[in-house]
Amino acid sequence: MTAGYSGTPLLKKLGVKDGQAALLVAIPDAIPALAGFKNWGRVKTAKTTRGVNGGPYDYAHFFTSSAAQLANTLPKLKDELAQDGMIWVSWPKKSSGVPSSVTEDTVRRLALETGLVDVKVCAVDETWSGLKLVIPVKDRKK
């Protein structure tokens, strides 16, 4: 599946690799590339944020249109993240017409408040944008 205009396959843009432990939360049905990837080392999918547990995960991806939900969930995702892992947060693009209280600035602000930094942004598809978050190298536990 290709998203955006780059022609780069979505899984490559997101840094998905064979053997990763993954947590996928609230993945839209319109994005089958993530849930349908067969080479996860281990994968947990959750329809709601109550399913955020079972880490550590190398890769977590959370789709939301609620800033309040993101503020509540981001610390939980960080707690389940491997020290060198990544969290992708996706929110509806303004052009999608999907009601949302989340913007790129919202994600970045909440990430910083949670001790995460953003390192990449991408178009997931025509509806969703994504921001890749990681634990800063200086803050990673050895």
Query: Which residue did the predictor score with more confidence, 70 or 31?
Result: 70
In which band, very low, low, confident or very high, does the pLDDT at 11 lie, cut at 50, 70 and 90? very high
Residue 71: Cβ within 10 Å count = 16
Of all helices (H) and strands (E), which one includes residue 85?
Answer: strand 81-92
Give the tens place of pLDDT for each residue, 93-128. Answer: 999 999 999 999 999 999 999 999 999 999 999 999
Question: Would you kindly state where each structural domain of the chain is located, as residue ranges?
Answer: 19-136
pLDDT at 30: 81
- Strand, coil or helix: what is 69? helix
Beta strand spans in 26-106 (E): 42-46, 57-63, 81-92
Residue 132, pLDDT above cutoff 70: yes
CATH of 19-136 among 3.40.50.150, 3.30.565.10, 3.40.50.300, 3.90.780.10: 3.40.50.150
Distances (CA, A) of 22 to 1, 66, 120, 127: 19, 22, 18, 22
Instruction: Look at strands 42-46 and 21-25 and give their pairing.
Output: parallel
pLDDT at 142: 78
pLDDT at 133: 99
The dihedrals phi and psi of 116, each to the nearest 5 degrees, come to -115, 155
Distance CA 133, CA 117 (A): 5
- Percent of the chain at pLDDT > 90 equals 79
Residue 1, pLDDT above cutoff 70: no
Count how many residues are written for the chain.
142
Give the tens place of pLDDT for each residue, 39-74. Answer: 999 999 988 888 788 899 999 999 999 999 999 999
Of all helices (H) and strands (E), which one includes residue 35?
Answer: helix 32-35
Tell me if 27 sits within 8 A of 35, measured CB to CB: yes
